[in-house]
């Protein structure tokens, strides 16, 4: 039985489904920040939100497919590392746990980075509006 093939057929759909789910949640919830930041132009809000979602797809799936190589036990032969195929269900589950866990951590990092950037943009847009509001109170 080819356990590597089983690992690939489990890994790819889970990674794709997880990326789609998180990207949809990101798209849905980022719009609230973008409405506050770009309150004057709805087209800019929609375009920015769509570009953020597209970038999330590209970065997440790119990372997932770069890391797709499923390896079994490693052995140092003196010059290089040699990797064997996976030989049991236990090894398959362990390798999938490492791969999917790393991918989940990566997606979480990207999600928090996006949230951090939205908070920075929100703060800078509020600071930009403060002087204009102060001028209205200062003028007689």
Per-residue pLDDT tens digits for 25-59: 999 988 888 888 877 778 888 888 899 999 999 99
Number of domains composing the chain: 1
User: 80-88 contacts: CB < 8 A, separation 24 or more?
Assistant: 85/2, 85/3, 85/4, 86/3, 86/4, 86/7, 87/3, 88/3
Structure tokens belonging to residue 3: 């356990």
d(CA 137, CA 140): 8
Domain that includes residue 90, residue range: 3-138
d(CA 118, CA 107): 16
Highest mean pLDDT among 16-20, 67-71, 124-128: 16-20
pTM for the full model?
Answer: 0.77
């Amino acid at each position: 039985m080819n356990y590597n093939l089983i690992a690939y057929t489990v890994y790819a759909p889970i990674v794709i489904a997880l990326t789609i789910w998180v990207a949809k949640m990101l798209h849905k919830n980022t719009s609230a920040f973008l409405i506050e930041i770009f309150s004057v132009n709805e087209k800019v809000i929609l375009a920015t939100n769509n570009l953020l979602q597209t970038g999330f797809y590209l970065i997440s799936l790119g990372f997932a497919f770069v890391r797709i190589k499923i390896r079994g036990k490693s052995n140092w032969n003196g010059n290089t590392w040699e990797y064997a195929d996976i030989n049991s269900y236990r090894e398959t589950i362990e390798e999938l746990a490492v791969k999917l866990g790393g991918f989940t951590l990566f997606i979480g990092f990207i999600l928090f980075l996006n949230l951090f950037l939205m908070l920075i943009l929100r703060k800078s847009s509020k600071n930009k509006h403060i002087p204009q509001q102060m001028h209205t109170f200062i003028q007689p």
